[in-house]
Amino acid sequence: MGKKRKRVERVEATNEPAPKKQNSSTDPPPGVHHYQSVEEVPWDIQKYWNQGYSIFSKYDDGIWMTDDSWYEVTHESVANTIAQHVAEAVPPGRPIIFDVMCGVGGNTIAFALSGKWKRVYAIEKDESTLRCAQHNAEIYGVADRITWLKGDCLKLLGLDGGEMDEQARSFNTLASKLGVIFASPPWGGPGYRDAEIFDLELMQPYSFSYLYESFKKLSPSVALYLPRTSDLRQIAKHVGEDKKNQIVHYCTRGSSRALCAYLGDWSPLKLGNL
């Protein structure tokens, strides 16, 4: 994209209206950035710079990112497709979704934009990252559809094995009775790309088996966003080889970006739009 983003080229190609300028006077908190040229970007994440509009189509409107989020966030087209699939396959009587590791808001915003959910609950333990998600949701006009929670999702949902406080009991009950769980957990940094078959037990700080065993206590409908090279045998082993579950690869520009494992109680996914 050159040294500086040339939005006009993108507008001409897509016939989109001219982008709005960021109208917020609030400066990003420490560790949060809205880079406007590649020279501002740390060298080790510069390769993600050209993906900016794929990550957030409204990047020029003032999207906030942490440096880690450049390789952690779900790209917008993938997030929107996942949101559509989750909305179509959710079992009856579960009108609330918990995005329990929301990051800078890629999936959370897509869930809110889908219009499917009575409420979207977004949990993030890092304060700067959560500020990004809240700010980005405002840019997309959906912040009022989301309840934001700061903290470790397992503790907030009463799944850490400790004594639950009143708030944890409330969220635990809400999720158990009415919720589905979506999680895009940390994969341990960009090094996961080097693995021909990714060992899901190496995810940090929580392994796949620990997350799945925890979340299934809370809801019969769990969706986990995982590396595209994930070891499917590990998923089958922990979920139960005799059970039918759905695993979908999501692609951008003709190549797999990641996969999502729909575990437990989901209707058959409609994949004709992939």
Per-residue pLDDT of the chain (274 residues; tens, 9 = 90+): 444 454 433 333 333 333 334 444 478 989 999 999 999 999 999 988 988 899 999 999 999 999 999 989 999 999 999 999 999 999 999 999 999 999 999 999 999 999 999 999 999 999 999 999 999 999 999 999 999 999 999 999 999 988 999 999 999 999 999 999 999 998 865 555 666 888 999 888 899 999 999 999 999 999 999 999 999 999 998 887 667 789 999 987 777 778 999 999 999 998 764 4
Residue 29 in tokens: 């908190």
| pLDDT at res. 190 | 56
What is the C-alpha to C-alpha distance for residues 68 and 91, in angstroms, rounded to an integer?
Answer: 34
Domain ranges in the chain? 7-72, 76-264
Domain 76-264 part of CATH 3.40.50.150? yes
pLDDT of the residue at 194: 63
Residue 133 token pair: 């998600």
pLDDT of residue 195: 64
Number of neighbouring beta carbons within 10 Å of residue 253: 9
pLDDT at position 22 is 41
User: What's the CA gap between 174 and 30, in Å, rounded?
Assistant: 34
Output the pLDDT for position 189.
58
As given in the structure block, the two tokens for residue 208 are: 């796949």
Identity at 144, one-letter amino acid code: D
- What pLDDT score does 270 carry? 82
Among 151, 161, 156, CA closest to 127: 151
pLDDT at 264: 93
**Cross-strand partners of 146:** 120
E-strand ranges in the chain read: 96-99, 119-124, 146-150, 179-183, 221-226, 246-252, 255-264
Classify residue 104 by its DSSP letter. T
* Measured CA distances, 17 to 10, 21, 25, 222 (Å): 10, 12, 23, 38
Distance CA 80, CA 203 (A): 25
Which pLDDT score is estimated for 10?
A: 38
Residue 240 DSSP code: -
Q: At residue 124, what are phi and psi to the nearest 5 degrees?
A: -150, 135
Q: Which pairing describes strands 255-264 and 246-252: parallel, antiparallel, or unpaired?
A: antiparallel
Rg (CA), the chain: 18
Calpha distance 1→272 (Å, rounded): 32
| Cβ pair 4, 36 in contact under 8 A | yes
Please report the beta strands in 234-274, taking only residues with DSSP state E, as ranges in sequence order: 246-252, 255-264
